[in-house]
Amino acid sequence: MPALLIGDEAPDFEVETTEGPIRFHEVIDGSWAVLFSHPKDFTPVCTTELGMTAKLKDDFDKRGVKVFGVSVDPLDDHRAWIGDIEETQGIALNFPLIADPNREVATAYGMIHPNANDTLTVRSLFVIGPDKRVKLKIEYPASTGRNFDEVIRVIDSLQLTAKHQVATPANWTAGEDVIIVPAVSDEDAKAKFPDGWKTLKPYLRVVPQPQ
């Protein structure tokens, strides 16, 4: 199966989760979503990641983002692992963990890399827009935990740039200046950004973040 690319439709699926059965497209309809994989239950890095995701629930909620974890382990293992996560990370799981023992989801999303391991999912993360298309994909090796500040940062950027004709510069965080995209002429920019902007080059126009 070809690799899933940014702009592709996120594959649909029906699965069991720790919060009951779901049809993915139905449950995310009209919302932003994050789908991320972990290589295996009862592994150390993944335990910390799931705890951190649970701690960030309010941050995801206020951005209208639904979060789903997935691995190829069965539902019984997920349920047993949840207790370990709460004990060691100090927070109860508050989002669905998808059971994918038949590797349907992992295969559809290209989460299994034979060059790394032909049975375990690598640490993949997809941000999916309200149009059900992939907006971002990030992959980490099994040994390296995700930077969740970066996950939140890119969601802020994706949501801002989807609403306004701007782009975000290197190391941008919410509230900082942004860039007017080249497709917007100076004439159109006057209507969109009536308070003006700073032109560093004709193709590089910096403006305060739209509210």
Which of 98, 94, 90 minimizes the C-alpha distance to 48?
90
What gap in Å lies between CA 161 and CA 179, rounded to an integer?
10
pLDDT tens for each residue of 5-56: 999 999 999 999 999 999 999 999 999 999 999 888 898 999 999 999 999 9
Tens digits of residue pLDDT in 140-163: 887 889 999 999 999 999 999 999
CATH topology match: 14-145 vs 164-207:
no
**What is the C-alpha to C-alpha distance for residues 53 and 48, in angstroms, rounded to an integer?**
9
Pull the structure tokens for residue 84: 């370990």
How high is the mean pLDDT of the chain? 93
Q: Residue 120 above 80 pLDDT?
A: no
Q: Where are the domains of the chain?
A: 14-145, 164-207
Q: Residue 158 corresponds to which amino acid? A: L
Q: Catalytic residues, which ones? A: 46
User: What pTM was computed for the model?
Assistant: 0.92
For residues 105-113, average pLDDT:
85
Task: Please report how the helices 148-163 and 44-55 are oriented relative to each other, as an axis angle in degrees rounded to 10.
Answer: 50
Q: How far is 131 from 190, CA to CA, in rounded Å?
A: 29
14-145, what's its fold? Glutaredoxin (3.40.30)
Q: What is the pLDDT of residue 71?
A: 87
At the second CATH level, the architecture of 164-207 is 2-Layer Sandwich (3.30)
Q: What is the pLDDT of residues 172-186, one digit of tens each?
A: 999 999 999 999 999
